[in-house]
Amino acid sequence: MDSKQKTYTETVIEDQPFPQSDGLLTIPISNQPSKDGSYSEYKIPNQVFPIKRIAQELIGSVLNTQSRKILQELQFTEHGAIQVGKYQSGVTGDIRISPNGLVARDSAGNSTVTIDGDTGNATFKGTIRSGSLVTGDVIVGNNSVIIDGANRRIIVNDGTNDRVLIGFDPGGF
């Protein structure tokens, strides 16, 4: 034999079965050479594909993925934060919720809604609409207009003096 020639032999690779309920699938493999040393093709019998398994308990009882609705109250951990969306400049905004408060940004990076978790202060960039509003005093500007519901009056101030007074002012009239 020439020393430059190589002899190749077959490599046997074990078949990996499809996952079944019991996890076992046996396929008999028998491809023995005939008496003259030739091999013939081996036919593998048809196999049934396994049925897709879906986690029914968590998804089915809490989240409806088809209607995209939350069906029950969810419990959150005490640590961490939640981010909804991914901010991309000029494309999309995001909302971030943490123990310190809430911030919503538009695609330009401007804060559109903020709520300070420590003080309770809230700011809104846009219009606030409500069916009803129950509050104490409403102060507009730098104390220039005060709507005082408890004392049933509206005061408009020019920066030094109260110029317009609508309602009851004890000792004023």
Strand 94-98, strand 82-84: pairing = antiparallel
Backbone dihedral angles phi then psi of residue 71, each to the nearest 5 degrees: -90, -25
What is the domain partition of the chain in residue ranges?
Answer: 80-127, 138-167
* CA geometry: angle 128, 118, 107, nearest 5 deg: 50
Q: What mean pLDDT comes out for the span 88-109?
A: 93
More confident residue, 28 or 14: 14
End-to-end CA distance of the chain: 127
Residue 96 CB neighbours (<10 A): 16
Range list of H helices, the chain: 56-62
Residue 107 has a pLDDT of 94
Question: Residues 29-82: pLDDT tens digits?
Answer: 556 666 776 766 767 788 888 887 765 555 567 777 777 788 877 776 677 788
DSSP letters for 93-136: -EEEEETTEEEEE-TTS-EEEEEETTT--EEESS----S----S
Q: Which residues contact 155 (CB under 8 A, 6 or more apart)?
A: 145, 146, 148, 162, 164, 165
The pTM of the full predicted model, rounded to 2 decimals, is 0.43
